[in-house]
Amino acid sequence: MNVFSSILEVIGNTPMVKLARLTKELDGEIYAKLEYLNPGFSKKDRPALEIIEEAEDQGLLTPGQTVVELTSGNMGTGLAIVCGIKGYPFVAVMSKGNSVERARMMKALGAEVVLVDQAPGSLKGQVSGEDLQLVEEAAQRITKERGAFRSDQFELTGNRHAHERHTGQEILDQTEGKVDVFVDFAGSGGAFSGIATTLKKSIPEISCYLVEPASAPFYADEEITNASHKIQGGGYLRELSLVDRDLIDDTILISDDEAIHFARELAQKEGIFAGFSSGANVAAAVKLLQTTEKGKTIVLTINDSGLKYLSTDLYE
């Protein structure tokens, strides 16, 4: 029988689609890996599983112990699925600035969700680095109070390993190694570094671009004009310990409007219903095909589902 023993075995091995309609007038190709087709509708299912299994193997997580994590929603959803299957109580700590669909989904999957007030002056739907720091403080407090395991996606190497061992290798297999450029919006940095590491080992000449919000260009080392951008799940104006700067060949900056425009283009022209950061990835790829990477083949990930943003202005 071709039957999986649990939903955890369904994580990964996502399909790759050529964005033929979006690139019809462009010189070059874009290949999109559909990470939103993971069970939790995002690429974060992969590191959620890897982090928990590495902790089990290393004796850092004991049966029945509570797991706590800071999340913008996607990692929390992945952890809610993994912890629910494996029998660990899970507490997701999230800013009130993130979309409500994410909190509702985590609760539906059995997580306890703790919502943290935003910093004074922050806008709902636009989570800044200052907001994230408040969430981090709450996550640390809850971890200590409950004697929990902190599945820290910003620090634990399982995040990077998940993409280095699996996502990156899947991309190589699906494209037969015929890729010139990789672009990725920086969230925790695990996907960028993990995928870039694997791709560069097999394709040393590949160019890897880190995508950042135009108003919050931390890695580009340019002027920060608005820390509270709309591209949820990244652009937090902080050094990401999982990101090896040597893997970054260049940065590319994408505005809120560009991310929104290309998320809508993805939906209408390619039938791919995705979120802000996926729109940012596609915007970056299109911009490169129009300028410095004409004629090249670019690969990217579709990070999460547009269903997680119906309460925002993404699809108004």
Catalytic residue annotation: 44, 277
SS3 of residue 224 by DSSP:
coil
Name the residue with tokens 């902190």. Answer: 150
The two structure tokens encoding residue 6:
């649990």
Distances from the Cα of 300 to the Cα of 33, 70, 120, 291, angstroms: 6, 25, 35, 17
Nearest to 185 by CA among 42, 40, 24: 42
Provide the 10 A C-beta neighbour count for residue 246. Answer: 9
The two structure tokens encoding residue 253:
């900056």
Let me know: does 302 contact 274? Beta carbons within 8 Å: yes
What would the 3-class secondary structure string for 104-157 be?
HHHHHCCCEEEEECCCCCCECCECCHHHHHHHHHHHHHHHHHHCCEECCCCCCC
Q: How many Å separate Cα 38 from the centre of its chain?
A: 12
DSSP state of 109: T
